[in-house]
Each structure stands twice: as structure tokens, then as C-alpha cells.
Structure 1
Amino acid sequence: MKNSILILIFFLNLFSASAQLTVPKEHFTRRDSLQGGLRPERTSFDVLRYDLNIKISPNQKSIVGYNDITFKTTDNTSKIQIDLFENMNVDSIIFNGKKLDYKREEIATFINFPSALQKNSENKIRFYYSGNPVIAKKAPWDGGFVFSKDEAGKPWIGVACQGFGASCWFPVKDSQSDEPDFGATIKVAVPNGLMNVSNGRFLGMENLQNGYTRWDWEVKNPINTYDITVNIADYVHINDTHKGLDLDYYVLRANEAKARKHFEEVKPMMDCFQSKFGKYPFSDDGYKLVETPYLGMEHQSAVAYGNHYMKGYMGNDLSGTGVGLLFDYITIHESGHEWFGNSITSKDIADMWIHEGFTMYSEIVFIECQFGYDKAMQYAYGLRNAVSNDRPIIGHYGVNKEGSGDMYPKGALMLNTIRHIVNNDSKWWKMLLKYSETFKKQIIKTQDVVDFFNKESGLDLTPVFNQYLRYTTIPELEFRKSGKVIEYKWKAEAPNFSMPIDVMIKGKKIRLEASSFWKVLSENVKSISDIQPIKTDFYIKY
């Protein structure tokens, strides 16, 4: 059993990795609202496509190029907001062959058109830019670029910017509320001898005759802007297939042999996830693992991998049970995001639990597929040691503010609890599969999730979701002696809280329909100590 304090430290590092904010904050600024809010300059248009064409210099640690942004107006408008970090330069913005006027405010660039764009019209701007992007101090726990070198001294470059903002390195509508409907092209020129790997399918390469070669990639699916990525190194390409799905691995040249062996874990993972969550959502873009100089990130169809070909999380078991050392955490977790986060996306970062809670639950699902139910529940039970109950899981809307890092373990434990509330595994797996397929490639809110599971389960799970997502405490099961009988109820903050709970009494499993009001235990029990809740199945306090 690992030391629980050490495990908690690992968790705290992990749970900040996928939700980097520009700076830690206790209050919200105009910049927060510009980055996280939805104002007419954002809601008046829908992005159809990004076509990014840039050059990255490893020596100068710089980017220069442009992004073609194709969009459709949803309302008449003469002004739109495109985002680019303050340290990056806006060189010019072209529309119909002419330069547009613009005004920069913090992260936002407000672009003015000479006349109003009419509703439902399709338009395209070319946004030229340049500069030195923010360099992450410790990616992926803080956002930005990593300019590193491999063992041979060759450049090894990557970017991780979830929560921090994709606009830290390219001009974009930097909101989870809008993904390019028809995908993107990512064309990146890098010094000869290096390769760039981005999302989607490889279109080809072109020697630009200036010491640089451009590598062209295309994504055909909608994609989160923070998922759009570059990975630059002297990569070796390993190609494989599994049941009709292309599996591509781009790894450092020195790691080819170990990668071929280690990534065999992807095949049973795909079998498991596709059986439980539905077909891999981005088969037309393929599936890739790309070795990165940072730990990992769920970049759609180009999953960042930096776990050094070890089992566990950097060689450690996050559950503290030993079960976490049976699989490579980064491969499984970040790939789980292809279904939860990349396919199903939260509209606001405040609802990031929709990404992280379901994805951490996918680890439990994988363990059950590979090693059985008991191991899965053992792992799940171990995760409770990492819950701090410091803040609600749901964050503040409209200000680019996610909730507590508890969205990972507590979110997963909530889903495991709901599974056991449903108390019918056949029904549960059908519900989970239907959830993945119903909201496939959609942008949703917490209420959509709650409404879905209420309808499909036939139960009112709203108080359960509210308690785990909106409060810092977990339900506490209370018992008391009242004369000759024993009574029980829940102590919880969510209004009208009720939740069934399974307990063991004299070796017999009994379901109690507990609520916020005292109820009489119907079983003949002399002592409260004879009642033992099944805490592996329900995340509760007792």
C-alpha cells in the first residue's frame, strides 16, 4: 500500500494537468470573462473550419503564419471576437482581399467588418500572426509550449493548453462552445530532418527549399480547439491495425522497440471501450499515440503519450491498491477521453467533470474488462483517498473557471455509485452505451447528463448528482437506536436527498431505501455495529 500522502500529491498534480488556467485566481477579471464568456461577438457566428499554416523555429522558439477561419453567421453582425494571447502579434487580418480593422483587448481580438455580415452567410478571414508562445514551466500542469531535446540532442517540441487556452499559440475562437463543424487542416513547417505530427490523417509533406519541410494533416471531425496540436521530433512511425481501425504510433527513434511491445495494450483497450462506449468516434481520422516531452494530453486522434512506457501513473499506483500498476494510466485515461471530452464535450469549462469524471470511470471499466469486477471495485475504492472535498466539482460559468480537481476521482466514484443505485448491470451498460452514442460529437451541459440518466434509469437521480457535483460533502449514512428499533437516514446538503444503499446484515445483502428522514429498519438487528454498508459500491461516509 502506497503512502496515502504521496498518492494524494500525485493526484493533485494529475488533476491540474487537464485544466490549466492562466493564473491561479480567487476572483474573476475582465480577461476571464473575455476568455470564458459568450457575448454577441462570439455567439453571432459558428466556426465551420480552421486551416492553419505555420512555421515553427526550434532555435528562436517562435511561430509565424496564418489561420484561415471559415465561419457561418448565426445573426447579422459587423464584429466578431477571435482570441490570441497578448504576447503574440497580430500581423494582419484579411477579408475579401482587404485588411480589416481590429481592436485588441486582453486575450480578445475584436474584428470589425466594413459592412454587416448577413445571417446565415458563409465567410472566411485569414488571420496572420507571429511571436514566441508561452513556454510551459511544467507541462501539462501549466499551459504552453515545451521546447526540449531528445537523447540525441535533436529538438523535441509539443504543446498542452487545455483550460489555459488554444489561443496561446494560434488565433481561434477559444471556447468549448464551438468546434469547427468540418474539422481542420494543420500544416506545420519544421526544420529538415524533423517531423511534425498533428491531428487526423497525414496528407503529405513538402520540402520548402528553405531548410524547412512542411507536414500537412487533416481532421475531418469537429474538434476541441485545445485538442489541436503539434508534435515535432525525429519520430519513427509504427503502423498497426486492429479490427479495421488504424493504429499509428509516433515515437522517438531510440524507443521504437519498447513502443512496439508496450502499445499492444491499445488493442484490448479498444475492444473494451468500443464494447462499453460504442465505436471509436474518430475512425475516419484514425487513432494515434504520439510520444511527447510531457506526461500526456487527450489530443483528439493524436493522443499525447509521455509515461515512459511504464505501468501505472509515472510508475505509481494512484489508487494505492496495487491495481493501478496493471495498466499504463496515460494510455488508458487519455484514450478514454476520445469518447468523453473529445466526442462528448462540455459547453463551459465549469462542467469539465463531464470530461474527467467519465474518463476516470473509463479506467474502472477497463480494469473490469481485463481483470474482473472485484479488481475494478478495489481500484475504485482506492480512489476515494484522493478526494479532497475542497470545492464543488462544478465551477463558475462564463469565466473560464473549472471546478475542483475532485472532478476526476469523485466524478468517477459518483458514476460507480449510480451504477449500484441502478442495481442492474445489464441496464447500466446499455445506459452508458446509449449515453455515449446519444451525445456523440455533441456539446452538452450538466443538465443534459442529469436528464439523460433520469430518463434512462427511470429514477430521480437529480439529488444524487446535485450532492456530488454541487457540494463539498458526501452523503453520510446515520443510524440511531429508537426504543427497540434502529432507524436510518442520510445526512446530506442537497434538497430532498434520497438514495438507496446496500448493507450487509448477518451475511445477508439488504437494500435500504434511505432518505433525509428517519426510517425504521425492518430487519431484526440488535446492534448498529451489525450493519455494514457496502462501501466499495457506494461513495459515502459512514
Structure 2
Amino acid sequence: MKLFIVVLLVLFLPLSGFVQVFQAEESYTEKDSLRGGLRPERVNFDVLKYNLNVKVDPQKKYISGYNKITFKILKKLPVMQLDLFSNMIIDSIIYKNQNVKYKRKHNAVFLHFENPLAVGLTDSLVFYYAGYPVEAKNPPWDGGFVFEKDNNGKDWVSVAVQGTGASLWYPNKDHQSDQPEEAEIHVAAPNGLMNVSNGRLIDSQPQDDGTTIWSWRVTYPINNYNIILNIGDYVHFSDTFRDLDLNYYVLSYQLEKAKKHFEEVKPMMACFYEHFGEYPFKEDAYKLVESPYLGMEHQSAIAYGNKFLLGNEGADMSLTGIGLKWDFIIIHETAHEWFGNSITASDIADMWIHEAFASYAEAVYIECRWGKSAALDYLKGMRATMIYNQAPIIGDPGVNSEGSVDMYYKGANMLNTLRSVIDDDQQWWDLIKSFSETFNDSITNTDEVISFFDDHTKVSLSPIFRHYLLHAEIPTLQFKKENKKVFYRWKPIEEDFEMPVDLIINKSLFQLQPNNNWNVLKQVKTIKDHQLNENKYYIKVEIL
């Protein structure tokens, strides 16, 4: 009955951290390769800036506008690939005051230049478009536009497209390997409503057509899927943490509740500054924006829809009670400012770099507030409800495959296991902060991250990373008894796998150094004489 209850709880818990993450496909289509692959049409130019101008009609659920894309040519470029969902209408693409010829294939748009663009050229084109964007049926897990009404019957509009792709609603180079160095977002919204986007507000101008254009500027590189619009009956209030501006935009009738609830931001920032370094986008400030869906890590404009509740919409995914001490969306999505927005995986196959560290940041925050024991209990609690061990964490590269949902809490428990292997908390925290600061404002991949951790520790961590990331099954410590002796080894799944573990034997602590070969456990006479510290290590024990 206990198992049945846990299963029911897992089914109905709001999985807000699992934003639009899908299992890897067994086969892929041309559409997948066009979206996820890197060919000369994509890699031969570098995006420098997006200047996005969009008008939103909430009643018709229709958008129109253009994106001025500034770029630099890295290699001779006769054909450029940009991306826009096939249901959206292309009005024209203008380069040097001339219409560019183009061909569409699935969601890709191939621009053909009469004279190939020369190496070193910095220039821009303007991509005009319009249409009825795909609506999300279950945001944020299902990508698309969100057209809702607030409690006063006023329009409330947003969008969430991680995984699905930002080209769902605006033309861009839709691949994480390339980010614009800066962006401007200009959104025309109906009068009486405000638009909130990334960065800082630079202007608002009423128009003759009953709309107001709200203009925002981003001064840092930004992921395509992070660029956002939020239209609603918003009111603004602000605060500061040290020299960081904190800005909050909530629906007008939520103001007093939000002022009290968002006080959690300050202790969170104190914790994250200590362990991850300064907020990565200080010039653009930090924002929480109330959204009509649960949450998303939109850079400097985090979507917040947790209804001013503790936990995850009032639930504790760990089933320990610890998850009800804090607001899940504030903590998890803010952690993405460091891991995901500042440190970005070049291919979404490596999205564990975003999600494992952001999920582990939940435990970091718990440890800052309520101690290490509570953090370890929380991570262990997440194993029973939020880890499946049915597919590898890493997806297939080049085909827009994000891999397994286990990138979240299996990834977080992997990091906790690495901490236990290093067995020096000061070294661990120095390592995490050094990783965050060294990789700040960078696009990276699994190999680079593993190499960094390996190069900065005395223990070889590569085999451990590979086991958790590349295999569905977690490391299994096997025991057997033969000839009155107890033997132990790691089940041979990852070649040459070694990882030290602590065992409690007759109330004393011993560190074992298992490998793939059978070794004698000299300290015990029977298999049952030992106990594993399960809070420190996420492994399985098997008695043969």
C-alpha cells in the first residue's frame, strides 16, 4: 500500500522543474536534423543581435512584426539557415533593401544570396512575419503561446518554448550553440496592459492604434528560448540585494501578497552568491514576473506562477516535509540564471548541465537555511519520487534530443555523490564556485565540464560522470560470499569503473575502494555485517 500511495503522489505532483523535456527518440527525421544539426548554413555565421518587434492581438490570438538580425560572417556563406515554424507566414526578408529569395523546409528557412556573403562581413537583415502562433495546451511542459484571462477578466499573455523552440513565435537561429550578444525586445500590447520582457525597460510609447509599445534592452548574451514577452495588468515594485536591483511584476490584485512572499529572494541570493558567485546579469537586474503557467527560467525575467505558495504549488516532491519550507519555483528557476542562462549547453543533448546543477541548487539552498542533514534528506527523498532510471541522462546530439528526465534529480544526486567521493566540503564548495565563475557567460558541453572537474580534484571523476550520464542503471555495489569470505565489486557496466564508498561496519566507518574486480571485504564475516551511508551516495547494493 505504501508503494501505491507513492506512485499516486508522483502521478499528481506538479513536475514544474521538468520543463518541456522529452525522452530521446529511437529514430529521427529530417525535421529533427534541420533543427538540431549544425551545417555550414548555420555555423558559417555568428548572430550578434536580435532587435525583435512584435505586436500582439490577444483577442485574435495573432502576432505580427519583424526581427532585425545582426550577424557576422565567419566563412563564405551563399545560403543562410534561419528558423520559423511552418505555420507562421513569412511576409518578406529584406537585405540591403532587396527581397531575399528563400526556401522553406519543415521549420527551417534557407536564405539564398545572389552573391555569397564574404568572410568578416558584419551586417543585418530584417525578417518580417505574422501568424497565429502555436498555443500551449499544458504550459510550460507543452511549448507555445499562452492566452489567458486573469481573475478580473483582463488579458494575460505569455509564451514558453524551451525544447519546442523559440522559432515557434519569432524568426531566429534556433540552436543553443549561438546566442545574440545583446537583444532589444519591443512589444505592442493593448492599452491598459503592460508588457514585461528581459533586461531593463528603456521606453514605453502609446500608439494611434490603441496599443503601447514597451521596449526592453538586454545587454548580455541570451538563449533564444529565454527571450520572452509577458502581457498583463502588471504592477511593479522593487528592492535591492547588495548592489543588485530586484524587480517584481505581478498582477495588480496580488501586490501585497507578493511583497511578503518575495522576501525569500534575499536569503536565496545570499546563499547563491556564496556558493555560485555574483548574479551573472547584474546590469540587466533580476526580475520575477507573475505568469499564467508554473514557471520558466527566462533570463532576467523569470516566469513565476507558483501562486505564492511554498513547495511546488503547495506540494513537497521529496515527501520529507523539507520541500514545504521554501518556494520551489523561486529557487529552482533562479538557479538557472547561473546554470543554463549563464552556463549554456551547446547541444540540448547536454541539458543535464542546466538541470542537474539547478536541481542540486535546491539542496544547496536548503543547506544554507536548514543545514546539511536536511539537504541530504531532501535529495534522498527525491530518489523515490522523481528518478526513473529507464534511459540515459544524455540525449542524442545533433537531432534536438534532450535525453532523459533523470537529468534533474538523478543529476542532482550524482553531484551529491561526487561531493561524498571528494570527501572535503570546503574543496567541494570551492570547486562548485570555481566552475560557476570559470564557465560564466560561456557555451559548453559535457566533455568540457567533466574535464574541469577532473582537472581540479585529486580523485578521477570521469568514470563516475560517465556511469551516471551514459547508463540508465546507477552504479551497483555487489556482494557475495564464497569459502567463508565476503567479496565485493562494482557491477561491470562502465569499463574500469572505480568509486570509493563509505561503509559502516560494527558502528565503525570504513572507506572501500571497489572496482570491477572481486575483492575481499576483510572487516566482516557475513554479508549483513555492514551498512551503506545512503544519504551520501546514490548507488544500489546487490547481494548475490
User: Which residue is 1:19 aligned to?
Assistant: 21
CA distance in 1, matches of 2:20, 2:108: 23
User: Which residue is 1:281 aligned to?
Assistant: 280
* 1:332 aligned partner, one-letter code: I
* 1:302 aligned partner, one-letter code: A
CA distance in 1, matches of 2:31, 2:163: 14
Q: Does 1:477 align with 2:477?
A: yes
User: Which residue is 2:207 aligned to?
Assistant: 208
Residue 513 of structure 2 aligns to a residue whose secondary structure is: strand
User: Deviation of residue 12 (structure 1)?
Assistant: 8.2
CA distance in 2, matches of 1:529, 1:20: 40
* 2:288 aligned partner, one-letter code: L
Residue 103 of structure 1 aligns to a residue whose secondary structure is: strand
User: Which residue is 2:66 aligned to?
Assistant: 66
Structure 1 contact 357–407 (Cα < 8 Å) conserved = yes
User: Deviation of residue 26 (structure 1)?
Assistant: 4.3
Structure 1 contact 10–318 (Cα < 8 Å) conserved = no
CA distance in 1, matches of 2:141, 2:13: 12
User: Which residue is 1:395 aligned to?
Assistant: 395
CA distance in 1, matches of 2:13, 2:417: 21
User: Deviation of residue 429 (structure 1)?
Assistant: 0.5
User: Deviation of residue 476 (structure 1)?
Assistant: 1.1
Once the two structures are superposed, the pairs formed by residues 35-50 of structure 1 within 5 Å of their partners are 35-50=35-50
Once the two structures are superposed, the pairs formed by residues 516-531 of structure 1 within 5 Å of their partners are 516-523=516-523, 525-531=524-530
User: Deviation of residue 116 (structure 1)?
Assistant: 1.3
**CA distances 1:31-68 after superposition (whole Å, capped 9, x unpaired):** 11111110110001000000001100001111111000
**CA distances 1:121-148 after superposition (whole Å, capped 9, x unpaired):** 1010000000010000010010000000
* 1:286 aligned partner, one-letter code: A
User: Which residue is 1:5 aligned to?
Assistant: 7
Once the two structures are superposed, the pairs formed by residues 261-272 of structure 1 within 5 Å of their partners are 261-272=260-271
Query: Against the structure 1 CA distance between its residues 329 and 10, is the aligned structure 2 distance closer, same or farther, given a 3 Å change threshold?
Result: farther
CA distance in 2, matches of 1:311, 1:302: 20
Structure 1 contact 474–492 (Cα < 8 Å) conserved = no
User: Deviation of residue 208 (structure 1)?
Assistant: 1.1
User: Which residue is 1:115 aligned to?
Assistant: 115
Query: Against the structure 1 CA distance between its residues 324 and 517, is the aligned structure 2 distance closer, same or farther, given a 3 Å change threshold?
Result: same
User: Which residue is 1:418 aligned to?
Assistant: 418
**CA distances 1:96-126 after superposition (whole Å, capped 9, x unpaired):** 1111111111100101112111111101000
CA distance in 2, matches of 1:36, 1:458: 36
Q: Which runs of 5+ in 1 are unaligned?
A: none
CA distance in 1, matches of 2:229, 2:118: 35
* 1:413 aligned partner, one-letter code: N
CA distance in 1, matches of 2:216, 2:323: 35
* 1:510 aligned partner, one-letter code: F
CA distance in 1, matches of 2:293, 2:22: 14
User: Deviation of residue 18 (structure 1)?
Assistant: 3.8
CA distance in 2, matches of 1:422, 1:16: 29
* 2:7 aligned partner, one-letter code: I
User: Which residue is 1:147 aligned to?
Assistant: 147
Structure 2 contact 20–164 (Cα < 8 Å) conserved = no
Once the two structures are superposed, the pairs formed by residues 315-326 of structure 1 within 5 Å of their partners are 315-326=314-325
CA distance in 1, matches of 2:361, 2:460: 24
User: Deviation of residue 212 (structure 1)?
Assistant: 0.4
User: Deviation of residue 498 (structure 1)?
Assistant: 0.8
User: Which residue is 1:308 aligned to?
Assistant: 307
Structure 2 contact 391–471 (Cα < 8 Å) conserved = yes
CA distance in 2, matches of 1:462, 1:472: 17
CA distance in 1, matches of 2:183, 2:251: 26
**CA distances 1:394-442 after superposition (whole Å, capped 9, x unpaired):** 0011111111101101000000000000000110001100100111111
User: Which residue is 2:505 aligned to?
Assistant: 505
CA distance in 2, matches of 1:446, 1:11: 30
CA distance in 2, matches of 1:254, 1:365: 33
Residue 226 of structure 1 aligns to a residue whose secondary structure is: helix
Q: Does 1:233 align with 2:235?
A: no
Q: Does 1:355 align with 2:354?
A: yes
Computed over aligned residues only, the root mean square deviation of the Cα atoms, in angstroms, reads 1.4
CA distance in 2, matches of 1:138, 1:383: 24
User: Deviation of residue 477 (structure 1)?
Assistant: 1.1
User: Deviation of residue 466 (structure 1)?
Assistant: 1.1
Structure 1 contact 33–399 (Cα < 8 Å) conserved = yes
User: Deviation of residue 11 (structure 1)?
Assistant: 6.4
Structure 1 contact 18–297 (Cα < 8 Å) conserved = no
CA distance in 2, matches of 1:441, 1:536: 33
CA distance in 1, matches of 2:533, 2:14: 27
CA distance in 2, matches of 1:376, 1:20: 28
Q: Does 1:259 align with 2:252?
A: no
Residue 54 of structure 1 aligns to a residue whose secondary structure is: strand
Structure 1 contact 78–112 (Cα < 8 Å) conserved = yes
Structure 1 contact 19–164 (Cα < 8 Å) conserved = no
The number of residue pairs the alignment matches comes to 538
User: Deviation of residue 529 (structure 1)?
Assistant: 1.3
CA distance in 1, matches of 2:261, 2:334: 15
Query: Against the structure 1 CA distance between its residues 239 and 428, is the aligned structure 2 distance closer, same or farther, given a 3 Å change threshold?
Result: same
User: Deviation of residue 526 (structure 1)?
Assistant: 2.6
The percentage of aligned residue pairs carrying the same residue is 51
Residue 383 of structure 2 aligns to a residue whose secondary structure is: helix
User: Which residue is 1:85 aligned to?
Assistant: 85
User: Which residue is 2:172 aligned to?
Assistant: 172
Q: Does 1:374 align with 2:376?
A: no
User: Which residue is 1:98 aligned to?
Assistant: 98
TM-score in terms of structure 2 length: 0.97
Worse-superposed segment, 5-14 or 280-289: 5-14
Residue 158 of structure 1 aligns to a residue whose secondary structure is: strand
User: Which residue is 1:451 aligned to?
Assistant: 451
Structure 1 contact 282–301 (Cα < 8 Å) conserved = yes
User: Deviation of residue 19 (structure 1)?
Assistant: 2.6
* 2:154 aligned partner, one-letter code: K
User: Deviation of residue 6 (structure 1)?
Assistant: 3.3
CA distance in 2, matches of 1:286, 1:295: 22
CA distance in 2, matches of 1:12, 1:240: 30
User: Deviation of residue 329 (structure 1)?
Assistant: 0.5
User: Deviation of residue 16 (structure 1)?
Assistant: 4.1
CA distance in 2, matches of 1:86, 1:214: 27
User: Which residue is 1:495 aligned to?
Assistant: 495
CA distance in 2, matches of 1:90, 1:219: 26
CA distance in 1, matches of 2:447, 2:22: 24
Residue 338 of structure 1 aligns to a residue whose secondary structure is: helix
Query: Against the structure 1 CA distance between its residues 7 and 495, is the aligned structure 2 distance closer, same or farther, given a 3 Å change threshold?
Result: farther
Query: Against the structure 1 CA distance between its residues 178 and 10, is the aligned structure 2 distance closer, same or farther, given a 3 Å change threshold?
Result: farther
User: Deviation of residue 74 (structure 1)?
Assistant: 0.8
CA distance in 1, matches of 2:334, 2:103: 39
Structure 1 contact 20–164 (Cα < 8 Å) conserved = no
User: Which residue is 1:442 aligned to?
Assistant: 442
Query: Against the structure 1 CA distance between its residues 218 and 105, is the aligned structure 2 distance closer, same or farther, given a 3 Å change threshold?
Result: same
CA distance in 2, matches of 1:18, 1:277: 25
CA distance in 1, matches of 2:433, 2:263: 25
User: Deviation of residue 7 (structure 1)?
Assistant: 3.9
**CA distances 1:341-383 after superposition (whole Å, capped 9, x unpaired):** 0000001111111110111000010000010000000001011
Q: Which runs of 5+ in 2 are unaligned?
A: none
CA distance in 1, matches of 2:404, 2:365: 25
Structure 2 contact 487–518 (Cα < 8 Å) conserved = yes
